[in-house]
Amino acid sequence: MADKLFGTDGVRGQANSWPMTAELALKLATAAGRHFRHDKQEHRVVIGKDTRLSGYMIENALTAGFTSTGMNVFLLGPIPTPAVGYLTHSLRADIGVMISASHNHAIDNGIKFFGPDGFKLSDEAEQSIARMMEGEVPLAPPEQIGRARRFEDARGRYVEYAKTTFPHRRRLDGLRVVVDCANGAAYRTAPAVLWELGAEVIPVGVEPNGFNINGDCGSTHPATAAAKVIETQSDIGICLDGDADRIVLIDEQGKMADGDQIMALIAKRWQAEGRLAGDTLVATVMSNLGLERHLEAQGIALKRTAVGDRYVVEAMRAGGHTLGGEQSGHIVMTDYATTGDGLIAALQFLSAMVETGQPASALARVFEPVPQRLVNLRYVAGTTPLEADEVQSAIQMAEGELGGDGRLLIRKSGTEPLIRVMAEAIDEARLTRVIDDVCAAIKRAI
């Protein structure tokens, strides 16, 4: 179990199927509670969740597991993932937990852990917890069983903190903002923050029912917000995902800006302000080659990591860097947050609009991206289609054809049974040919 339980972002799967069952959540919390117990007077854990129906089941199972080891549980209710990281540290908790499958469909769910410093757990800590689950975990004596209670002030605390990341004495007065909360964890916090800072807010995706999270809305379906921006003649659209740790922006013309463009803008501004530590941006191997070339021209280094915001954060902490993220929209700013925070990233972009007086369209196209194409191919879990001789041969031929003018990246998703095939090339005809040939070989192997 130890080598299979945790993926690139905690434990994730279809609800009521292994590993996302109440039974496993109970065992996981019991092991995690024992792992984080220290010799002090009170042991605390905070638990947040998004709006999936299965969140109730998993929340109750985790609560039982943690209290059985003597942990006192603070239940935060629906709240963004970055808020859990913030409150874990703020409340001096031993551990924080977010119940969410992020951008996945409503039938999925996941469990993410944060350490007492508010950062996600290392691979080593996760494996230690997984190994502990394989044996008998000592429980607390009856008189030391933990308590559980709702922490009613969680959302308010995060709202007030998020507002402090916006420049002092600046306001959003006069800006009309569409915010698509994906019927997810930020459906109350994001509109509240933007409105309290002065914006006219047009909310989308703020009616969760347990089943509609990420459904034709949010960062995975930005066309919904784009249409609303055009319809309402808004200045900008903000698209969050189910747990609000990633963002996609829509300018006033209805055009989308991904995480690469947002990071490029923030990096340029922070460099000018002396806030970009080491003049370095940390991003993953998925970020566009155009971003790398643009940063190089600006005297900014790009440090690449494996895919996953946790690996971005690890590289940032190791190198003392302050800005990093993913093309998909995870933007990590360690001056403000311990993990990706879509809302706080949006506030950084909005501050640029307010301070420069420029429209979103003038700020959201910082560099010209190299043509890039990403194809997701679903496969049967447990099979190894990438190891097929035909696939390996197709990959070698594609790499040879791209040469030094492009990139080919093929990997399995760490959160769902998908093979992601990404290629970049200046010549779009060559790009299409390479992608089609490789994908055809993989499909035959599947």
Express each pLDDT in 17-60 by its tens digit. 999 999 999 999 999 999 987 666 789 999 999 999 999 999 99
What is the pLDDT averaged over residues 204-222?
97
Whole-prediction pTM: 0.91
Among residues 162, 198, 203, 206, the alpha carbon closest in space to that of 179 is found at 203
* Mean of per-residue pLDDT scores for the chain: 95
Helices (DSSP H) in 320-377: which residue ranges? Answer: 342-356, 360-363
Q: How sure is the predictor about 3, in pLDDT bands with cuts at 50, 70 and 90? A: low
Residue, of 4 and 166, whose pLDDT is higher: 166
Q: In the prediction, which pLDDT does 42 show?
A: 84
Spatial separation of the C-alpha atoms in residues 201 and 190, rounded to whole Å: 10
CA distances from 325 to 89, 282, 306 (A): 21, 6, 11
Give pLDDT, residue 406: 87
Q: Any idea which of 256-260, 363-367, 426-430 has the lowest mean pLDDT?
A: 426-430
Q: Strands (DSSP E) along 68-134, which ranges?
A: 72-78, 95-99, 108-114
Catalytic: 100? Answer: no
> CA 432 to CA 424: how far, in whole Å?
9
Other CB atoms within a 10 A radius of the CB of residue 298 amount to 17
Cite the residue boundaries of each domain of the chain with CATH code 3.30.310.50. Answer: 372-445
Neighbours of 143 (CB within 10 A): 6
Helices 123-132 and 22-35 sit at what angle, rounded to 10 degrees?
Answer: 110
pLDDT at 1 over 70: no
Judged by average pLDDT, the poorest of 192-206, 246-260, 384-398 is 384-398
CA 144/CA 150 separation, integer angstroms: 20
Q: How far apart are CA 88 and CA 157, in angstroms?
A: 12
- 212-237 burial string, b = 16+ CB within 10 Å, else e? bbbbebbbbbbebbbebbeeeebbbb
CATH 3.40.120.10 fits 157-257, yes or no: yes
* Banded pLDDT at 73 (limits 50, 70, 90): very high
Question: Encoding tokens for residue 408?
Answer: 């080919």
Annotation: CATH topology of 372-445: TATA-Binding Protein (3.30.310)
d(CA 401, CA 285): 20
Which pLDDT does position 304 carry in this prediction? 96
CATH number of this structure's domain 259-341? 3.40.120.10
Please give the pLDDT value at position 40. Answer: 63
Say how far apart CA 8 and CA 6 lie, in whole Å.
Answer: 7
Neighbours of 160 (CB within 10 A): 13
Quote the percentage of the chain above a pLDDT of 70: 99
Which residue ranges does the chain devote to CATH 3.40.120.10? 11-152, 157-257, 259-341
Among residues 246, 323, 256, 333, the alpha carbon closest in space to that of 50 is found at 246
Choice among 68, 100, 102, 234 that is catalytic: 102
**Homologous superfamily of 11-152:** Alpha-D-Glucose-1,6-Bisphosphate, subunit A, domain 3 (3.40.120.10)
Of 108, 100, 107, 43, give the one whose Cα is nearest residue 77. Answer: 100
